[in-house]
Structure 1
Amino acid sequence: MSSTHATLARRLSEMFTELPQVEAIALAGSRSNQVADPASDIDLYVYTRSDIPLAARQSIVDRAGGATKADLGLTHWGPGDEWFDAASGIEVDIIYFDAAWMENQIHRVMREHQASLGYTTCFCHTVKQSQIFSDARGWLAGLQSLCRQEYPEALRRNIIAFNHPILRRVIPSFANQLEKAVRRGDLISINHRLAGLLASYFDVIFALNRQLHPGEKRLLELALARCEKLPRNMAADLVSLLRLSATGEPLLLNQLTEFLNRLDQLLEQEGFDPQTSRPRVL
C-alpha cells in the first residue's frame, strides 16, 4: 500500500476509533493482502455495537479533508459510505458491520461448520487477512485467531456436500436451469444461472483444497495460485464456457458437461463419491 493510502487509512481509523459505537476497525480488501492494483480503493471495515449517526460520519469526511464526491448512508449491500478524498483522489469505501452479526457468521462456519450456497468462507477469509487498526478489547483479534486455525475437515465435507449436488445432480440444479435457458434463448437467465453455478463450483474447489474462499474478485487467478488440486484444463474450459454463454449457443451445454465431468473426476480422485457428494466409505 502506498504511503498516501496508508496515511489516509490510518487517519480515518483514528477518527472512527473516537466514536463510542465502534468495537474495532480493520483494513480489508486487496490493500490488506498485497493484491492491490491501481484501481483498488481503501476498504475500511468498521465493526460496531450500535449504529453510527450519519452526521458523525459526515463529520469524519470533513475532518479528513473533504471529498470531491461522496455517497454516504448507502444500504444496497449493507450500510456503508463511499467518497473520493479531495486531496489525493483516493476512493474510500467504509463498510459497517454489526459486531455481533459478524461474530455469529464466523462461529457458524468455523465452529458449527455450516455451509452456504457459494462463498461459504468469504467472511472468514476477510477477517483472517484483515490488518487490524483498532481493537481495544481484542474482540477482532479473537475472531481472527479462529479464522486462522487449521481448516476444519467437517466444514470441508459439508461445503462439498451442500454445493456439489446443486451443480447438476438435483432437479433444480444450475445445469438443468441453464439447459432450459439455452433452449429458450434467454441470455439474461443464462448469465444468472452460470453465475450461480460458478459460485458453488468455486466453493467446492476452495473447500477441497482447504482454502478459505477469497471472494468474488480474481477467482480464477487465485484458485490457480492457491489450490494444488484442480480439475484438468479448468482455466481453458472456464474461458470457453464464459465465451459461449455470451451467445447462448447450444454448444455451451456440451462445454458445461465436460467442465463438470472434470470436477467429478477430481472429487473421485480425492476420495469423494460424485453420486453422493460425500467421502467414499472404505
Structure 2
Amino acid sequence: MIQDLYKEFSQLEQVEAIALGGSRAGQDYDQNSDYDVYVYLNSPIDEKTRQIILSNYCSYMEIGNQFWELEDDCVLNNSIEIELIYRSMESFEQELNSTVFQHKAQNAYTTCMWHNLL
C-alpha cells in the first residue's frame, strides 16, 4: 500500500524526489512506527490534489498543517500514522549551499537537511 502511495505522488510533475526519514528509514522501527516522508518539489502541489491522492490510502487526514514546513498528517488505512512533509527544491539547494559552501550553522539543523536527501 505505501509503495502505491509513493508511486502516485512520484507521477506528479511537481515531484522531484521522495525520501523516507525517521525510524522507518533505518533498521530501528517496529510494525507501529510512523512514516516520515519528505516530498521534494519544483512547484507546490495544490491541497485538493494531495487530498484526492491521500484519500485512497488514509482513514484520517489533516491536510495543510504547517509549523516548520508544510505537511499533511494522516493515518493510513492500516492504522499507521504518516507525515508527508513538502519541501521546495529551490529552498533545499539554498540551505545546502549555505551549509556546505558558505559554512553557516543553522540552529541545530546544520546537516539535518543534507542527510535527508543526499
TM-score, shorter chain, exceeding 0.5:
yes
Are the structure 2 counterparts of residues 14 and 111 from structure 1 closer, same or farther at C-alpha, using a change threshold of 3 Å? same
What amino acid is the match of 1:50? S
User: Offset at 1:37?
Assistant: 4.3
Q: What is aligned with 1:23?
A: 16
Q: Does 1:77 align with 2:78?
A: no
Are the structure 2 counterparts of residues 34 and 98 from structure 1 closer, same or farther at C-alpha, using a change threshold of 3 Å? same
**RMSD between superposed Cα atoms in Å:** 1.7
Which whole-Å CA distance do the structure 2 matches of 1:125 and 1:15 have between them?
A: 24
Query: What SS class does the counterpart of residue 100 from structure 1 fall into?
Result: helix
1:99 to 89, 92, 104: 89
Query: What SS class does the counterpart of residue 103 from structure 2 fall into?
Result: coil
Which whole-Å CA distance do the structure 1 matches of 2:20 and 2:108 have between them?
A: 24
Does the CA contact (< 8 Å) of 2:15 and 2:42 recur in 1?
Answer: yes
Q: What is aligned with 2:6?
A: 13
Q: Please give the TM-score of this superposition, normalised by the length of structure 1.
A: 0.39
Are the structure 2 counterparts of residues 82 and 117 from structure 1 closer, same or farther at C-alpha, using a change threshold of 3 Å? closer
Q: Please give the TM-score of this superposition, normalised by the length of structure 2.
A: 0.88
Q: Which 5+ residue runs of structure 1 have no aligned equivalent?
A: 1-6, 128-143, 145-282
Rg (Cα) greater in structure: 1
**Which aligned pairs between 1:67-216 and structure 2 lie closer than 5 A?**
67=59, 69-86=60-77, 88-127=78-117, 144=118
Does the CA contact (< 8 Å) of 1:74 and 1:80 recur in 2?
Answer: yes
Q: Which 5+ residue runs of structure 2 have no aligned equivalent?
A: none
1:117-154: CA deviations, max 9, x gaps?
Answer: 33322212222xxxxxxxxxxxxxxxx2xxxxxxxxxx
Which whole-Å CA distance do the structure 1 matches of 2:101 and 2:28 have between them?
A: 29
The count of aligned residue pairs is: 118
1:44 to 15, 28, 37: 37
Query: What SS class does the counterpart of residue 54 from structure 2 fall into?
Result: helix
1:144-188: CA deviations, max 9, x gaps?
Answer: 2xxxxxxxxxxxxxxxxxxxxxxxxxxxxxxxxxxxxxxxxxxxx
What amino acid is the match of 2:37? L
Instruction: Percent identity, please.
Output: 35
Structure showing greater relative contact order (alpha-carbon pairs closer than 8 Å, 6 or more residues apart): 2
Please state which structure has a larger fraction of its residues in helix.
1
Which whole-Å CA distance do the structure 1 matches of 2:90 and 2:105 have between them?
A: 19
Please state which structure has a larger fraction of its residues in strand.
2
Does the CA contact (< 8 Å) of 2:37 and 2:85 recur in 1?
Answer: yes
Does the CA contact (< 8 Å) of 2:14 and 2:43 recur in 1?
Answer: yes
Does the CA contact (< 8 Å) of 2:33 and 2:80 recur in 1?
Answer: no
